[in-house]
Amino acid sequence: MNETKAVAKAQPKITDLVMDKLNLLARKGKVSFPKDYNVENALQSAWLVLQETLDKDKRPVLQSCTRASIANALFDMALMGLNPAKKQCYPIAYGKKLSMTPSYFGVQTALRRIGYFVDAMIIYKGDKIEIATKDGKDYVKTHESPFENRNNEIIGAYGVVKDLENDKIVWTEIMTMEKIKKSWSKSKTYGRSDTPHTLFPDQMAKRTVIVRAAKQYVNTRDDKDLLIQSFNRSVDSEYKDDDEIEDVQDVEIDATASAELSEPKTIGKPVYLPPSKDESVEAEFDGETEDIFNRETERND
């Protein structure tokens, strides 16, 4: 069997593996999903996108990336409640590892699930901006940006995190363009002419500050829930080293055993499944399989 056919055959097993683990976490009360988020549809949409995605060497990512990283990427995507068909995330291959990287809108979607709204504004040359400090934290007091300034050079950006329950801004992250570009330089894809940093600098500047704002605030929460861990893994996978990474969990699993599971089963959305009398899903993994899903479950027990 050639490599392409082998990957195609593994698809139901990889997506069903992810569904199995999400179902297990749901039965244990570890995860839940918005009513308007269909996990199965999101996984199928992601698989269709992956079939058309190439790595930097123009090879299909389904051939060049490990099955473990594909499963992990789909798992993190589902935990964040994202769907690539809605442009909320996009697959990127970093060597043999696949990541479903949240877009600007994906970060907003993920943060809404834990009760926060995050957004960003660009600062153009000629804008009038006043930055003040309260309780040791900087915030933007006023910002006047005439429409015509949008043709000017970008000199910075800021992101704000708002607590939706209390209707209060709880964090502001302000970055100069120099600092933003320094952050970009640590990206594994930075420097190529076809990257979003080059093609859409305004949107990427916004994304940089909202990701940084989100990480700076949500990582101060006492409850390091699965969604936050998935968010951190997804955005941290972009960087070359640890300079921009806080609380990194560099997880590598061996999905060889899981790719060789029996024929796929039909499984419903995890949030609606009744309690199971046995946890047979756990029995599908042998003792030599280092499994991210099991470790995340145990960490939160």
Confidence class of residue 295 from pLDDT cuts 50, 70 and 90? very low
Residue 176, SS3 per DSSP: strand
Task: Dump pLDDT digits (tens) for 87-96.
Answer: 999 998 988 9
- For the chain, give the mean pLDDT: 75
**What is the spatial order of strands in the sheet that 168-176 belongs to?**
116-124, 154-163, 168-176
pTM score of the predicted model: 0.69
Q: What is the pLDDT of residue 3?
A: 54
Q: What is the pLDDT of residue 190?
A: 59
State how beta strands 128-134 and 116-124 pair. unpaired
Q: What is the pLDDT of residue 2?
A: 55
Give the total residue count for the chain. 301
What beta strand segments (E) does 31-88 contain? none
pLDDT higher than threshold 50 for residue 294 = no
Residue environment code for 8-42, b if the CB has 16+ CB neighbours within 10 A, otherwise e = eebbebbbbbbbbbbbbbbbeebbebeeebebbeb
Least confident of 35-49, 72-86, 272-286: 272-286
Task: Dump pLDDT digits (tens) for 92-110.
Answer: 898 899 999 898 889 999 8
